[in-house]
Amino acid sequence: MTLSKSQYIRGLQCHKSLWLYKNKPELRDTPDSAQESLFNTGYQVGDLAKNLFPKGVEIEFDASNFNGMIQKTEEFIANDTKVIYEATFKENDIFAMADILVKNGDAWNIYEVKGSTSVKEYHLNDAAIQWYALSNAIKINRTYIVHINNSYVREGELDIKELFTIEDVTDEVLIRQDDIPLYLSQMDEILQGNMPDIDIGTHCSDPHGCDFWDYCWKHIPRPSVFNLYRMWGSKKFELYYKGIVSYDDIINNNIPLNDTQKLQVEAYQSGTVTINKPIIKEFLDEIQYPINFFDFETFQNAIPRFENQRPYGQIPFQYSLHILHKDGTLEHKEFLGDENSDPRLALIEQMLSDITPIGSIVAYNQSFEIGRIKDLASFAPEYEQELLAFNERFLDLIVPFRQKGYYHPDFNGSFSIKAVLPAMFPGNDELNYKKLGSVQNGGDAMDTFANLHLLKDKSKRDEIRKDLLAYCHLDTLAMVRILEKLYEIAG
Ligand code: SF4
C-alpha cells in the first residue's frame, strides 16, 4: 500500500473516508467554488514562498510520471543542488512532495508552506508523515511550517519576509514518529477489507469538511436534530446516537429545548407561521425615513495586492443601496470597484454622497457592515468622522426575526436572509437568488471579484460584473420587501 501525505491525513480523520477515497472515488461530493478558491490560494501562496529561498530548481508536476519526478529529485540531490522546490519521494510506502527543501551542511531543512495564518494540528501530522518518508532517503536537520503572518500590512513593495512566518516544528514532528507505523498498519488493514462501519460524527467536519458528506449523511431526514438552532454539535450527536434524529423523535422523547428550538419544532409540527406583533412594532418604531437599505460585498487576498492591505483582511469592493422615502418612492444606488485597483477610496467617496444625511441605515446582520465601516475609517482617516457617524444610524433587520417576532416553519432554525426571504416570498422570481447568474451568494461574490483581475477576456469580465451588480442589488431589494411585509403584518 502506498499512501500520499494527504491520504494519510484523510485516514487520520476517518478510516472510512480513506477507504471510500481509494475504492469509491466517484462518490465524492463535487468541490464548491469556496473549496476551489482555497486550492488556488494555496498554489499562489506556495509559489510566492519559494522566493524566500531563491534560485532553487523545481520538480515539475507530472501526474503521468511520478517515477520521473522521483528520479529527477534524486539527480538534483546527487548533484549537490542547494534548494529544490516540490522535491518528490516515495519512501516507507509514502508518496510525498516537499514544498521547499534547503541544503544545510550535509543535511536538509524542509519547509512546508500553508496558506493559513497559524500552525494547525493537521499541519504537524502532515509534517510528521513527511519526515517519516523523507528521512528514509535523506538526512534531515529541521522541519518548518511557513504560514501567513496576518499582522503584516503591505506598505509599498510586497515584503515576503514579513508576509510569511516560519515556525520550527521539528520537536512536535519527532514526537509523532513513534505512532506513525501503527497508524499506517491500521490504514493498510482497513484498505484490504470491506468498507469500515463508521457512523457520522464530529469527525465529519474536523479538521476538514469531508467530501463524502452526501453519501454518508443521506439517511438524515430534513429537518433533523442537526438543524436545531444554536445547539452544540456534540449535543446533537449525543441525541443522534440515541436514535433521536427527526423532530418527531424529539417530540416523542420530550427532549428539553430552548425557546427558539421549541418554536422551530412546534412550527414544523403545526406548519403555521408564528407572529408576535409587539416585537415587530417595537422594531419598526425605531425606523426613521428615508430608510437606507445597505449591503457591502467584500473580498480577501492571502497575499495583499494593495497598499495598506492585510492578508485576509475583508476589503469592501461593492455596495448596493436602496433608499425608501416616506412618500413610498424607492431609489437605487450602487458601487462596484475597478477590479484592477484598490476600490476603497472611490467606494468611500461615493458612499458618503449616496447615503442620505439623515434616516436609518438598515442592514441584515449589521455587525458585518459596521465592522467594515470601521476598517474603512482607519484606512482613510480623513473620512473617519463621517464614516463612523453612519454606524450610529444602523438598524439590524435580523432583530425582529431573532426575537421571534415572525417565525416561518421553512426558516428551519436559520434567520439568515437566504432562509427568511424564500420562506416569506415563496415562488417570487424577483426575489429568487437561484434565478441570478454566476453570482448567487456572498462567497461567490467574494471569490469572483478576488480573481476578476486575472481574467483576460473583457466581455467575460463585463458579464461577471453585471452578475455581481444583480446579486448585490437583490440583497438590498430583499431587505426592502421584508420590511414592507413586516409593516403589512404589523398593520
Ligand atoms: S462523511 Fe464522516 S463518516 Fe463519512 S467518510 Fe466522511 S468523515 Fe467518515
Domain harbouring 470, CATH code? 3.30.420.10
Q: Looking at 272, 298, 332, which one is the last position of a domain?
A: 272
pLDDT reported for residue 491: 86
Q: Do 226 and 356 reside in the same domain of the chain?
A: no
**Ligand 1 proximity of 18 Cβ (cutoff 6 Å):** no
Q: Do 315 and 460 reside in the same domain of the chain?
A: yes
**Ligand 1 proximity of 289 Cβ (cutoff 6 Å):** no
Q: Do 260 and 369 reside in the same domain of the chain?
A: no
Per the rule left: phi > 0, alpha: psi between -120 and 50, beta: everything else, 7 is alpha
Q: Do 342 and 263 reside in the same domain of the chain?
A: no
Pick from 43, 38, 6, 41: which is nearest to 22 by CA?
Answer: 6
**Ligand 1 proximity of 198 Cβ (cutoff 6 Å):** yes
CATH of the domain at 185: 3.90.320
Ligand 1 atom nearest residue 20's Cα: 5
Asked whether the beta carbons of 324 and 284 are under 8 A apart, the reply is: no
Taking CA atoms only, the protein residue closest to ligand 1 atom 1 is 213
Q: Calculate how far, in angstroms, residue 303's C-alpha sits from the geometric centre of ligand 1.
A: 33
- With vertex at residue 229, the alpha carbon angle to CA 227 and CA 231, rounded to the nearest 5 degrees, is 90
Taking CA atoms only, the protein residue closest to ligand 1 atom 2 is 204
Taking CA atoms only, the protein residue closest to ligand 1 atom 3 is 200
- With vertex at residue 262, the alpha carbon angle to CA 261 and CA 267, rounded to the nearest 5 degrees, is 100
pLDDT reported for residue 37: 82
pLDDT reported for residue 38: 85
Residue with cell 433587520: 397
pLDDT in tens, the chain (491 residues): 899 999 999 999 999 999 999 999 999 999 887 788 888 899 999 999 999 999 999 999 999 999 999 999 999 999 999 999 999 999 989 999 999 999 999 999 999 999 999 999 999 999 999 999 999 999 999 999 999 999 999 999 999 999 999 999 999 999 999 999 999 999 999 999 999 999 999 999 999 999 999 999 999 999 999 999 999 999 999 999 999 999 999 999 999 999 999 999 999 999 999 999 999 999 999 999 999 999 999 999 999 999 999 999 999 999 999 999 999 999 999 999 999 999 999 999 999 999 999 999 999 999 999 999 999 999 999 999 999 999 999 999 999 999 999 999 999 889 999 999 999 999 999 999 999 999 999 999 999 999 999 999 999 999 999 999 999 999 999 999 999 999 999 98
Domain membership flag for residue 211: no
Range of the domain at 364: 279-490
- pLDDT tens for 193-222 read 999 999 999 999 999 999 999 999 999 999
Question: For residues 306 and 391, what is the distance between their CA atoms, to the nearest angstrom?
Answer: 26
Ligand 1 atom nearest residue 217's Cα: 1
Domain membership flag for residue 214: no
Q: Do 140 and 257 reside in the same domain of the chain?
A: no
Pick from 332, 343, 326: which is nearest to 476 by CA?
Answer: 332
Asked whether the beta carbons of 421 and 406 are under 8 A apart, the reply is: no
Ligand 1 atom nearest residue 213's Cα: 1
Domain membership flag for residue 210: no
Total number of domains constituting the chain: 3
Ligand 1 atom nearest residue 216's Cα: 4
Mutational test site, ligand 1, from 7, 14, 220, 226, max ligand atoms within 8 Å of CB: 14
Q: Calculate how far, in angstroms, residue 458's C-alpha sits from the geometric centre of ligand 1.
A: 42
Q: What is the pTM of this model?
A: 0.90
Q: Calculate how far, in angstroms, residue 376's C-alpha sits from the geometric centre of ligand 1.
A: 42
- Radius of gyration for the chain, computed over Cα atoms and rounded to the nearest angstrom: 27
- pLDDT tens for 334-357 read 999 999 999 999 999 999 999 999
**Ligand 1 proximity of 19 Cβ (cutoff 6 Å):** no
**Ligand 1 proximity of 21 Cβ (cutoff 6 Å):** no
Residue 167: exposed, middle, or buried by beta-carbon count in 10 A (0-12, 13-18, 19+)? middle
Domain membership flag for residue 205: no
Q: Do 55 and 87 reside in the same domain of the chain?
A: yes
Taking CA atoms only, the protein residue closest to ligand 1 atom 5 is 17
Q: Do 310 and 399 reside in the same domain of the chain?
A: yes
Taken in order 265, 269, 273, 279, the sign of the CA dihedral is negative
**368-406 residues labelled b (16+ CB within 10 A) or e (exposed):** bbbebbebbbebbeebeeebeebeebbbbbbbbbeeebb
Q: Do 327 and 407 reside in the same domain of the chain?
A: yes
Domain membership flag for residue 199: no
pLDDT reported for residue 288: 97
**Ligand 1 proximity of 237 Cβ (cutoff 6 Å):** no
Mutational test site, ligand 1, from 198, 199, 206, 211, max ligand atoms within 8 Å of CB: 198
Q: Calculate how far, in angstroms, residue 206's C-alpha sits from the geometric centre of ligand 1.
A: 10
**Ligand 1 proximity of 210 Cβ (cutoff 6 Å):** yes
Q: Do 82 and 125 reside in the same domain of the chain?
A: yes
Q: Looking at 232, 254, 272, which one is the last position of a domain?
A: 272
Question: For residues 422 and 112, what is the distance between their CA atoms, to the nearest angstrom?
Answer: 45
**Ligand 1 proximity of 14 Cβ (cutoff 6 Å):** yes
**Ligand 1 proximity of 213 Cβ (cutoff 6 Å):** yes
Ligand 1 atom nearest residue 210's Cα: 6
pLDDT reported for residue 33: 76
List, in sequence order, the alpha helices (H) in 119-179: 121-134, 160-163, 170-176
Cell of 464: 461577471
Q: Do 267 and 306 reside in the same domain of the chain?
A: no
**Ligand 1 proximity of 204 Cβ (cutoff 6 Å):** yes
**Ligand 1 proximity of 190 Cβ (cutoff 6 Å):** no
Residue 335: exposed, middle, or buried by beta-carbon count in 10 A (0-12, 13-18, 19+)? buried
**Ligand 1 proximity of 212 Cβ (cutoff 6 Å):** yes
**Ligand 1 proximity of 216 Cβ (cutoff 6 Å):** yes
Q: What is the DSSP letter of 319?
A: E
Question: For residues 47 and 447, what is the distance between their CA atoms, to the nearest angstrom?
Answer: 19
Q: Do 264 and 125 reside in the same domain of the chain?
A: no
**Ligand 1 proximity of 16 Cβ (cutoff 6 Å):** yes
Question: For residues 425 and 421, what is the distance between their CA atoms, to the nearest angstrom?
Answer: 6
Domain membership flag for residue 206: no
